[in-house]
Structure 1
C-alpha cells in the first residue's frame, strides 16, 4: 500500500507542477528574453473572458495508469489480479489525463485591438493586466508569440 501512496503523491506533484506555467502578458519565457519584439500600438475594442485549455503531456495519464495498475492488482487472486491490474491501469490512465487537463486549465482573456494602422487583431493571454475598451495599449510580437500590455 505504501507504493500506492507514493505513486499517488508523485502523480499529484507532477500534475500540479504543470500549473506553474503562465501565459499572461507579464510573464516571459527564457527564450523570449533578449530578443527583439515588434511593438504596435492601438486601442482595445473588446475583451472577452475565455478558458485556456489545460495541458495533456501524457504525464497524468502515465501516472494514473501506474497507480491504477498497482491498485487493480490488489483485487482478487491469480488471473483476477491480472485483470484487475489491466482494468485499473486503463481507468487510472483516463482519470490521470482528465486530472492533468483540468488542473492546468487557465482563465484567459481574448483582447481585440484596433491597431493604429487600421488592422484588427485578437490576442488570447492568461489573465494578468486589466484592460478596458477604449484604452490605448501596446501589442508586442516576436519569437512566435504576441501579447498585449499597457
Structure 2
C-alpha cells in the first residue's frame, strides 16, 4: 500500500504544479495573441512589494482528500478503517487546499505610474521585472488587463 500512497502524492504534486498561473507582465494567454492593445507611456513614481495569493481550485482539495483517504484506509480494520478513511479524506482535503494556495503564492509589485497624459495609476503584477522610481515604462492595456513593461 505504500507504493500506492507514493504514486498518489506524486500525481497530486504534478497536478498542483500544472495549476499554477502567471500574473507576469510578460505572460499572455493564448487567446490574447493578435489582439490590439492600447499603449500608454509614463514614469514610475513608486514601487511597493506585495504578495499575490495562490490559487484555490478544487484540484488541491480533491487531490489532498484522495491521498488522505488512502492513507486513512490503511489504519485499523473494519469499521475503524472506514472512519479513518473519512477522517483522512477530510484532513487531506483541507491540507491539499492549503498546500495548493501556498505553492502557487508569488511575490508581486504594486507599481504607481505618472502617465504622460497627467493621470496617475497603479498596476499590480508579478515581480519578475524590477522597476524603480524614475523608470520610463509602457503600459499595455487590453480587455481589462494592464501590463507594465520597460
TM-score range, shorter chain: over 0.9
Asked if the contact 1:32–1:143 (Cα under 8 Å) also holds between the matched residues in 2, the reply is no
TM-score (norm 2): 0.94
Counterpart Cα distance in 1 of 2:87 and 2:50: 36
User: SS at the partner of 1:134?
Assistant: coil
Counterpart Cα distance in 1 of 2:137 and 2:99: 36
Structure 1 position 23, deviation (Å):
1.8
| Corresponding position of 1:84 | 84
The within-5 A match list for 1:58-137 is 58-137=58-137
| Corresponding position of 1:24 | 24
User: SS at the partner of 1:44?
Assistant: strand
| Corresponding position of 1:37 | 37
Asked if the contact 1:35–1:143 (Cα under 8 Å) also holds between the matched residues in 2, the reply is no
Structure 1 position 88, deviation (Å):
0.1
Counterpart Cα distance in 1 of 2:97 and 2:105: 13
| Corresponding position of 1:10 | 11
Counterpart Cα distance in 2 of 1:144 and 1:57: 23
Structure 1 position 127, deviation (Å):
1.4
User: SS at the partner of 1:121?
Assistant: strand
Residues 81-137 of structure 1 deviation map (CA, whole Å, 9 limit, x = unaligned): 111001000000001001100000111111011111221111111112221101211
Asked if the contact 1:26–1:129 (Cα under 8 Å) also holds between the matched residues in 2, the reply is no
TM-score (norm 1): 0.94
Aligned CA-pair RMSD: 1.1
